[in-house]
Structure 1
Amino acid sequence: MTTRWSRRGFLTASTASALALPLPVPAGGTAAAAAEADEFATLRAKWRTLVLGEGFSPTAEPFKSRLAELGSTANELRHAMAPAPGSLWPDLVYADPEPDTDQESYGYSGNMHASYGRLHTLALAFGQPGTGLTGNSTLRTAILAGLDHLYTDVYNENRARYGNWYSWQIGAPQALLDVCVLMYDSLTATQIAHYCAAVDHFVPDSAVAAYTGTSTGANRVDLCRVLALRGIVGGSAAKVALARDALSPVFPYVTSGDGLYSDGSFIQHTTVPYTGSYGSVLLGGLGMLFALLNGSTWAVTDPQRQIVFDAVEKAWAPFLYNGLVMDSVSGRAVSRGLSATDAKQIQQDDHLRGHPVLASIVLLGQGASTAENARWRGLVKGWLQRDYYSPAMNDPALPLPQLSRLKSVLDDTAVTPAAEPNGHRLFPNMARATHRKPGWAASLSMADRRVTHYETGNGENLRGWHTGSGMLYWWGDTFANGQYSDAFWPTVDPCRLPGTTASRKVLADAAGGDWGASLPDVNWVGGATDGQRAAIGQYLKGLQSTLLAKKSWFFLDDTVVCLGAGIRCTDGTKVETTVDNRNLGPVGNAPFTADGIVKPLAYPWSETLTGARWAHIGGHAGYVFPGGATVKALREARDGRWRDINRGGSTTVLNRKYLTLYVDHGTDPTAATYAYLLMPGATAAQTQARADATDWLTVLANTNDQQGVAVPSLGFTGVSFWFGGTVGGLVASDPCCVMVQERGDGTAVVCVSDPMRMRTGLTLTWNRPVTSVTSKPATVTSATTGASLRLTFGDLRGTAGATQRVTVRLG
């Protein structure tokens, strides 16, 4: 029977692991050789510490319980081990009966990878104190027998790989080399030579010869880790030097494909925003390698590594909130839940993915400047203290070394926890945005010709079709932190994701193709921001659908204003815009009020709210519909299984209660629109007051040509110019995004961007008296002031959609 595994799902206890190990210096060796061997021994000891952790008491909680659990798990695995041709454990058959069927082979290669992962667990129990198996001779014998069996039977220099490349080049060798470090004193020179030969076969030097294919970004860091530790194990200075040098292509900013971008974006698999998954691997891997090689002959000294340090606050911090990492940048990892075959595998969620990122930041800080390290520890302590939903100290999946790093920050009285920042971050190169205001945070997920609708692959994330269709995630500071953590992905209606506009056309699992292949042919996706507020737009083309829509969001202090226009489709099915879809958990007793009337708590329940002005979900948010709208409200109890969205997932049926608000645009709409305000954390009274304040918001335009709003009390105006034209006091010659923020000191900031990246020239006129321009970017070729402001921009194609800020003094 084929067992399917995710590429990174096996070694939960060893995601921060690799290995080290030197060969003994032969008798009569030179002094230089002896010195080199001593350095390898030092590196091996350092890596052992990185793998096992330090600075914690094995008799204190939470370490005492975790170590005891590790020992219990290892004892069960040891007794279940039964070496046989094609397997080391009966439930992990790795012999491939269908070598010509690559997709089916993935499960078998994954089982080989997982077998090394189990040996890694045994080796941790052998090396850690307090497991009940520390230094146990019977366990030592079992580990060595397992290593020899896997080498002889499957992972050796004479074997051709099958299935998933990752298992052979990263997963298995990382676990193998870890075990070699932990069991070094028990290994013979022959065993070391065999294991090194196997690694050399599957991970040759040529694996890092070109920065392309599967050797970029996080994958390149993983490969370098294998090469570095293979060099330390086999006593090869050349291997370690190669690994160090092969890291350098990871550091520089990229302008396309995989890697870090100057705007803070991180892409993997060419088109997938991946800060929270592959980005986590990259950050953790670099932290481990920097720590391992620091102070050695092979220290990483490339000055461009500072880009990685800068990215902690530029790329990772914006997507971390109260201990979680936002699902909008976790790709197909959101579909990974409890495995169908391994009851001890911990279900993943946004908090459990976030905690390793925090631990990696702590480790990376050891090699950063004193000021950076202090800031990062403050950030981490703040995130940890505010993670009431899933405290890191209770995280059953967090490896002990990472747990100890986070505990050290929590216990450090010299560290002052940093508060959540207040502001907006826009990431044009991965069609993402994050917004933070007191009490809440949000993230927006879009798609364009460079950024995929969603990623599927290896049988994972089979129904993530609409996550790039304007999904608007949001969380509260002391509420709703489990919205996407509590079995959201297997139980939510995949066609009613919050914020999205979608056709109800039935799509096949994995529709659009694997590895981010589903790219919509659109250019106008992006926005403009002053760092506090923002105007953002998305020209939406549905996945395998005729759906077209113009969507805009205006991110303000306590509100996100959401507009939709030009919604048309000929799929022969209904089209819906989901205002929100709240996961109310297994109980689902949140009260719902519409225009002052409390609605039933019954399940199922639905009602069409005609002429609705406002609605409120108790403990969550308020919603305002300017001018009134017809909105459908639905309570439903939804069943789902992780297997439904991930072929390796559990078949256990889960049930969650949902309260959904959506606009039904009907079947095959031709010019449908919507307008609503999202107010996270608002009370019913606050929501009603906003609805009653009809002059608070002015919708300047909501058409297929332009969408714009003004909020006079905030001095805010934002416009998505899908085509040039006039909206309020703004006149644009060509498509662009504009945000104007008038300040109380008599100045204003005019923010302009070219989301299409196609403008060779642009003229913007603001019909507002302006006395002077106090700052402007080089892209502004002329600025005329007086009764109005006229800005002429030159070629904007090279700005990559970034905001161009012009500061003026008002007349």
Structure 2
Amino acid sequence: MSSVVPPMFLSRRGLLRAFAATAIAVPVLGGAAGHAMAADAYDTLRLRWRDLMLGTGFDAAAEPYKSKLSALGATAATLRSTMAVASGSLWPDLDYADPDPNTDTASYGYSAALGTSFSRLRTLAEAWSQPGTGLTGNAALLTEILAGLDHLHAERYNNTQATYGNWYNWQIGIPQALLDICVFLYDSLGATRIADYAAAVDRFVPDSAVATYSGTSTGANRVDLCRVIALRGVVAKTPAKIATARDALSPVFPYVTTGDGLYADGSFVQHTVVPYAGSYGSVMLGGLSLLFSLLKGSSWEVTDSGRQVILDSVEKAYAPFLFNGLAMDSVSGRAVSRGVQTTDTRRLLQDDHGRGHAIIACVALLAQSASAAESARWQSMVKGWIARDYYVPILTDPALGVAAAARLAAVQNGTAAVAAEPTAHHLFPGMDRAVHRRPGWAANVAMASGRITYYENGNGENVRGWHSSSGMLYWWGKDFANGQYSDSFWPTVDPYRLPGTTASKKVLADGAGGTWGAARPDVKWVGGASDGTYAAVGQYLKGLSSTLVAKKSWFFLDDAVVCLGAGIRGRDATGVETVVDNRNLGAAGVHAFTVDGTAQSTALGWNATLTGAKWAQIAGHAGYVFPGGATVKALRAARTGAWSDINSGGTTDAITRRYLTLWFDHGTDPTDATYSYLLMPGATTAATAARAADTTWLTTLANTDNQQGVAVPSLGFTGINFWFAGTVGTVTASAPAAVMIRESGGTATICVSDPMRQSATIDVTWNRPVSAVTAKDSTVQTVSTGSSLTLRITPGTLGATHKATVTLA
């Protein structure tokens, strides 16, 4: 299933994005050079694909297009100057002549070199095709590109060659680049070349590649394969190929309950156990938006009713993870470690904003295949994302190609209203994630279970992501702190002190636990209950390669997240810590830090044990409240790292960032340690101090190894995580469950889930007078009302929330 790429080459998805960043555009007119008129249905599709790749409706002499086209031309000029046809290579630094196809350690690198060679030729072909590159329509360049294609075909990518190394290069990376080149240069190739290239693609991507929905032919990979087969059919005018590609998309559409694909709750998983909406999911959405647009109105239009699942995913699976233009890192797998990579003559930055921009561009294109109502909503959403991304303005993002920028500019200049940032809570039981959206901030918690991995490493990527699903609590502000994870966070942060996590200080080796998400904790209770506004979320944590265990709960509210921990134990002869926060202050940031009204030192290296602290505040970031007082440790430090430390393909340049870290030190081998704190994003010192002083605002109902729960009377909120059956306050559960109650006026909503996904029924009794149940899910049965309420829930196996609305007596 997985691919391996050595340090000198881009990752598979990075490689794809490097030469396909312009793949989202308005399919109107053709490109600049070599444009021909359509003579039949295949020519129509081919020219449409050309427009999808190159874009139309933009002024090449205006920004941001002028700079993007100039950069493309400069890259192409450098590549052209170093191209040299030789046996076993087309560029001296890309040796693809594998001496031993059966030697994995060598063959992976050689197949990647072959793939990169094709991607470089694609860059040259795009520079020849686009206006304003300085190489537009250059006859000598065209001759050189054709010579390079002939060379690679003769030596490697032909219908007699045996594969070696990475399957992805042969089946997706190379043929996608080759077929794009065929579209760009179609009128100059001639019938013989087209037939030869089609035969080569057939050799490596036969119809059997999509005959079954299994192995490497699922999710995003399946869509990539269909793209190859469809374009091969278009270029060589083979209708059966186009039909095969269209029909092979259908298995991607239905919801899944395990493994790869989209879940009914909005989860997207790839590699069986990795939450991946921000990377593989983006690739899948982009590929489908392209194919839907390509085939629309043709004899091969995608009409399967299941395509509605993909359209619905825009708002269910992708939009919840987009905030101010960025895509939350918790659903981007090993892609978070890519950062700055050098490819050809460019240094490519891959961060959460870049991944977000790619998804936003996909949404803009997919709107063309949606209903009028969906299209209108999505254009408003896109316009809102563009307006709010102050950290990396979308249209000027260097990683965004001309076609994508043109499409997004058309939306920006259109008549759609700017959609406001939504307010909601989203639970994703299918991938152990939760997202909380408030008017001024957003938060996201990442967890792991027997269903979802601790982290994914592979291809030498993300080798220190060990604790990134140990309850990592991300958060961002509306107009502050949007660079927290974008600004070289992953190579410089202490990987043992990720925000929100509870972790053993036991030293772990790079890649500990195995590759491709192999490491998963043997736990079931991970999930929560939500009414769509507030939530009670919990994780039974077992540490990666350690004896650490803990119960962690988060209660998501209007201006705060209440965080509880209990039952914290370890026997590794090392310390255990819970990280309240670890703020990236940038390269030179000096942010005031106040504890209980007293300003603390701003000197680097300052550290302190804050005994009996009731609250703390980091200027420009957040406030933290410690109910009843707590002993918390704090540290200001400058940390230096390089992307190559966590990703073998990353740059080796030293990067230094300043951090302010707050944590609970549970000591060596703790037994039944606990913690309690409130995170208040954006809170001022006054607001933080006021919350700490209001001892009636929060009531901790329980914080033990058996149950954890809180009540906030002013919000009518009660949230309890029952790790075991029992009674907490006025609520009794007959089995492990997450319970959330929200009272408002004379009504209340009761929300219950079974995070363990194994209870046949759960009886929940609320010792509160209830006169009637006015609405309930079909999975909820009313057992009794009156002086108390008892509901019987049949929860099923998906960890979903089951609701009932009642009238209070």
| TM-score, normalised by the number of residues in structure 1 | 0.96
Q: Secondary structure at the match of 2:315?
A: helix
1:801 is matched with: 799
Provide, for residues 295-348 of structure 1, a one-character-per-residue CA deviation record: whole Å limited to 9, x for no partner: 111000001101111110111100001111110100000001222564503111
1:26 is matched with: none
Q: State the 1:219 CA deviation.
A: 0.4
Q: State the 1:197 CA deviation.
A: 1.3
1:227 is matched with: 229
Provide, for residues 508-539 of structure 1, a one-character-per-residue CA deviation record: whole Å limited to 9, x for no partner: 11111111111111000000000000000000
Q: State the 1:131 CA deviation.
A: 1.1
Provide, for residues 345-364 of structure 1, a one-character-per-residue CA deviation record: whole Å limited to 9, x for no partner: 31110001111111110100
**Root-mean-square deviation over aligned CA pairs:** 1.5
Q: State the 1:668 CA deviation.
A: 0.6
Equivalent residue for 1:261, pick from 259, 263, 266: 263
Q: 2 CA distance for matches of 1:146 and 1:696? A: 71
Q: Secondary structure at the match of 1:8?
A: helix
Q: 1 CA distance for matches of 2:110 and 2:21? A: 21
Provide, for residues 141-180 of structure 1, a one-character-per-residue CA deviation record: whole Å limited to 9, x for no partner: 1111111111112212222222211111101110110001
Q: State the 1:403 CA deviation.
A: 0.8
Q: Quick check: 1:4–1:647 contact (8 Å CA) kept in 2?
A: no
Q: Give the 3 Å change call, closer, same or farther, for CA 680–806 of structure 1 in structure 2.
A: same
Q: 2 CA distance for matches of 1:338 and 1:313? A: 30
2:118 is matched with: 116
Q: State the 1:569 CA deviation.
A: 0.6
Q: 2 CA distance for matches of 1:210 and 1:433? A: 33
2:788 is matched with: 788
Q: Secondary structure at the match of 1:315?
A: helix
1:8 is matched with: 13
2:778 is matched with: 778
Q: Quick check: 1:466–1:497 contact (8 Å CA) kept in 2?
A: yes
Residue identity in the other structure for 1:10: L
Q: Quick check: 2:9–2:116 contact (8 Å CA) kept in 1?
A: no
Q: Quick check: 1:2–1:108 contact (8 Å CA) kept in 2?
A: no
Residue identity in the other structure for 1:760: A
Q: Secondary structure at the match of 2:434?
A: strand
Provide, for residues 169-192 of structure 1, a one-character-per-residue CA deviation record: whole Å limited to 9, x for no partner: 101110110001000111021111
Q: Quick check: 2:254–2:309 contact (8 Å CA) kept in 1?
A: yes
Q: State the 1:104 CA deviation.
A: 4.1
Q: How does 1:84-483 map to 2 (within 5 A)?
A: 84-339=86-341, 342-412=344-414, 414-483=415-484
Q: 2 CA distance for matches of 1:802 and 1:474? A: 24
Residue identity in the other structure for 1:677: L
Identity of aligned residues (%): 65
Residue identity in the other structure for 1:143: I
Q: Quick check: 2:566–2:704 contact (8 Å CA) kept in 1?
A: yes
| Runs of at least 5 residues in structure 2 that lack an aligned partner in the other structure | 1-5, 26-36
Q: 1 CA distance for matches of 2:38 and 2:514? A: 49
Q: 1 CA distance for matches of 2:206 and 2:115? A: 18
Provide, for residues 542-572 of structure 1, a one-character-per-residue CA deviation record: whole Å limited to 9, x for no partner: 1111110000000000000000000001111
Q: Secondary structure at the match of 2:254?
A: coil
Q: 1 CA distance for matches of 2:628 and 2:756? A: 32
2:808 is matched with: 810
1:764 is matched with: 764
Q: Secondary structure at the match of 2:15?
A: coil
Q: 1 CA distance for matches of 2:46 and 2:520? A: 45
Q: 2 CA distance for matches of 1:582 and 1:18? A: 35
Q: State the 1:82 CA deviation.
A: 0.9
Q: 1 CA distance for matches of 2:184 and 2:296? A: 21
Residue identity in the other structure for 1:801: G
Q: State the 1:409 CA deviation.
A: 1.1
Q: State the 1:36 CA deviation.
A: 11
1:649 is matched with: 650
Q: How does 1:532-551 map to 2 (within 5 A)?
A: 532-551=533-552
Provide, for residues 185-226 of structure 1, a one-character-per-residue CA deviation record: whole Å limited to 9, x for no partner: 110211111111111111111100110111000100000000
Q: Give the 3 Å change call, closer, same or farther, for CA 101–667 of structure 1 in structure 2.
A: farther
Q: Quick check: 2:22–2:402 contact (8 Å CA) kept in 1?
A: no
Q: 2 CA distance for matches of 1:395 and 1:449? A: 38
Q: Give the 3 Å change call, closer, same or farther, for CA 645–251 of structure 1 in structure 2.
A: same
Is 1:593 aligned to 2:594, yes or no? yes
Q: Secondary structure at the match of 1:143?
A: helix
Q: Give the 3 Å change call, closer, same or farther, for CA 2–801 of structure 1 in structure 2.
A: closer
Q: Quick check: 2:128–2:135 contact (8 Å CA) kept in 1?
A: yes
Q: 2 CA distance for matches of 1:513 and 1:404? A: 42
Provide, for residues 213-268 of structure 1, a one-character-per-residue CA deviation record: whole Å limited to 9, x for no partner: 11000100000000000111111111100000000000111111101100000000
Q: Give the 3 Å change call, closer, same or farther, for CA 2–513 of structure 1 in structure 2.
A: closer
Q: State the 1:70 CA deviation.
A: 1.2
Q: Quick check: 1:535–1:719 contact (8 Å CA) kept in 2?
A: yes
Q: State the 1:15 CA deviation.
A: 4.4
Q: 2 CA distance for matches of 1:85 and 1:540? A: 55
1:23 is matched with: none
Is 1:701 aligned to 2:702, yes or no? yes
Q: How many residues align?
A: 792
Is 1:58 aligned to 2:63, yes or no? no
Q: Secondary structure at the match of 1:356?
A: helix
Q: 1 CA distance for matches of 2:617 and 2:152? A: 59
Q: Quick check: 1:18–1:225 contact (8 Å CA) kept in 2?
A: no
Q: Give the 3 Å change call, closer, same or farther, for CA 136–577 of structure 1 in structure 2.
A: same
Q: How does 1:476-555 map to 2 (within 5 A)?
A: 476-555=477-556
Q: Give the 3 Å change call, closer, same or farther, for CA 357–637 of structure 1 in structure 2.
A: same
Q: 2 CA distance for matches of 1:778 and 1:415? A: 38
1:30 is matched with: none
Q: State the 1:113 CA deviation.
A: 1.1
Report the more deviating stretch, 364-373 or 70-79. Answer: 70-79
Q: How does 1:602-681 map to 2 (within 5 A)?
A: 602-681=603-682
Q: Give the 3 Å change call, closer, same or farther, for CA 104–696 of structure 1 in structure 2.
A: farther
Q: State the 1:16 CA deviation.
A: 5.7
Residue identity in the other structure for 1:262: A
2:33 is matched with: none
Q: 2 CA distance for matches of 1:601 and 1:2? A: 39
1:29 is matched with: none
Provide, for residues 387-442 of structure 1, a one-character-per-residue CA deviation record: whole Å limited to 9, x for no partner: 00000121101111111111111111x11110011110000000001101111001
Q: Quick check: 1:13–1:397 contact (8 Å CA) kept in 2?
A: no
| TM-score, normalised by the number of residues in structure 2 | 0.96
Q: Give the 3 Å change call, closer, same or farther, for CA 15–202 of structure 1 in structure 2.
A: farther
Q: State the 1:96 CA deviation.
A: 2.5
